[in-house]
Amino acid sequence: MTTQKPSLKAYQRPHSRIGVFSTPCILRSPVSDSEGAPEILPELSESATRLKRDKLTRVPYNHEGKHPGKRWAQLALDLMFELGNKAIFRSHDADPTPPADGGAIYVATHINGLIDPMVIVRAQNKRVISLGRHDLTTRPVIGWWSRRFGTQPVLRRAEVEAGVVDADFARYINDRGMLTVASCIATGHSAVVMPEGKSHQDSKLHALRTGSSRAALASAAIADEKGLPAPVIQTVGLHWRTHHWLRTDNYVEFGESIEIPSTYSPQDRARLVSGEWVEPNHDATRELRDRIFDTLSPMTPDAPDWETYRAWKLLAHIGANKAGTPLETLAEEVRATRQVRENIGRDENNPMIEQAKEAAEILHKNDLYATALDSSNRLQGKTVSEHLLGLLGLLLILSTLPITLPSSGIQWGLAKFMAEGSDEGLDSRTTYFMLAGMFSPIFFWPPAALLGTYLYAGISVQLVTLYTFILLMLAFYLAASIALSGYDLWSDSASASRRVKLSKSIEGERFHELIEKIHSRLGALK
């Protein structure tokens, strides 16, 4: 059989001018190198060391291309993701979903726990089959839901090397899950895969595991054998103002779609379709993995560290303000920052970079973004309207407390407690808050509404009882929405106060001095 090498065209946006950094924004970066990526096994959390073999063997799977999850669970998941998204994000933006006749494997970096797959699932329109760390399917509550979503467990090399599980059992579980995922993708479903194999807090892509490439090659072979449309790998850029902050902004960027070659022999394709896992060719797997890395890496911050990336963002805003085209959205900020990175960001001898790093750190220490600058690249003051809106926000929060405390207070307090006490890392913060927002309408609001109904109307089968329950559920939702809006207004006012405080300090004087130096250097670049 002749294997056709997939053609990969560089994904390129039209020429754009954002600030003084004008260049074609090419996502394929010549400096990204899969072989030089950090190879760091995750530190095992306590939960990851709890192996529940019996539960893992009972996780539903299917090797005929039928989704192993429940349809009602997918609909519930979509609703819960929508509620969780509204709770933790202030604004959410996404590129149009690229069309795909066959299945699609969405790949992205992984720095924000369960938030990462959630935002991708929301941004695409296919039914999702997913892979997840083994304990995601065996934990109380969340495990019950994961199994009904059809999530396939993964036992990682880290668990094997730590002695949590033997290699044979890990291979059995992983092969079973991989074939389930590959079969589903071949029949037109989608998968969301974090190919790094872990959530981390680095500003660059880590070395990729081969799981996504193996599943992709197998899915292409199954689709080929069944005469179905070929699946694709869809690269995804996940972007945040500050990823671990509550009520931050989020932008989902769709990059290049990577064709998946059919590399299996006719005999091996038939074995896959019959329900037997067959490993793809090693060289083909590595080649596809490296193609994914080279395509995905430029869509990440791809910076030496977060300090440098914040400096790039600051330069992007300064340049845009100087050009009279301020960056209004997170998507604009991402593209402008990428231009800075590709044009001057990697020049270690450019004094602007060090000046921008120092200035950006001053902002970061004071919990401020680069958006704190006005059109003349000075720290914005605090307007009368910001004062008044801050007071309005506080009033909204306080006025809804009698409703939000009994309906939402427990789970949000629990989320904060679990996030601060977790050994899962910084990314667990938004994960726990997302879970609180997702599960409130299911696990917390109904009991609270039933209690309120009992106190008001007693226990009886009457319309007034039903109406009371419905009205209370609606009140819980409206109160939570109003309280979050109030929190946003109060946060804006607090940010304005921090801007004013910084501008009047010695540190603020140094900040403006640095900005003026950068401003003058940008003039020389134009």
Q: How far apart are CA 211 and CA 155, in angstroms?
A: 11
**What pLDDT does 390 receive?**
97
Residues 6+ apart with CB under 8 A from 216: 105, 182, 185, 231, 233, 260, 288
Structure tokens at 423: 């050994």
* Per-residue pLDDT, 348: 78
Amino acid sitting at position 458: G
Report the candidate in 36, 347, 325, 84 with the shortest Cα–Cα distance to residue 204.
36
The C-alpha atoms of residue 355 and residue 137 are separated, in whole angstroms, by 48
Q: What is the pLDDT of residues 128-142, one digit of tens each?
A: 998 888 988 998 878
pLDDT of 423: 65
Measured between alpha carbons, how far is 197 from 48 in angstroms, rounded to an integer? Answer: 13
**What does the pLDDT read at residue 20?**
53
51-299 CATH: 3.40.1130
Token couple for 308: 């440098």
Residue 262 and residue 313 in contact, taking contact as beta carbons nearer than 8 Å: no
pLDDT beneath 70, residues of the chain: 1-43, 423-428, 459-461, 463, 523-526
Q: Of 15, 23, 13, 17, which is closest to residue 323 (Cα–Cα)?
A: 17
Q: In sequence order, what DSSP letters do the residues of 67-86 get, joined into one string?
A: -SS-HHHHHHHHHHHHHHHH
Residue 191: beta bridge partners?
105, 129
pLDDT tens for residues 164-188?
A: 999 999 999 999 999 999 999 999 9
Could you tell me the pTM of the whole model? 0.85
DSSP type of residue 12? B
Interatomic CA distance for residues 499 and 328, integer angstroms: 19
Instruction: Give the pLDDT confidence score for residue 39 in this predicted structure.
Output: 61
> Among 40, 202, 178, 174, which Cα is nearest to 105's?
178
Q: Kindly report the number of other CB atoms within 10 A of residue 344's CB atom.
A: 18
Domain extent listing, the chain: 51-299, 308-368, 384-503
Asked whether the beta carbons of 154 and 42 are under 8 A apart, the reply is: no
String of b and e for 190-218 (b: at least 16 CB within 10 Å)? Answer: bbbbbbbbbbbebbbbbbbbbbbbbbbbb
Residue 107 near residue 181, CB atoms below 8 Å:
no
In the prediction, which pLDDT does 444 show? 87
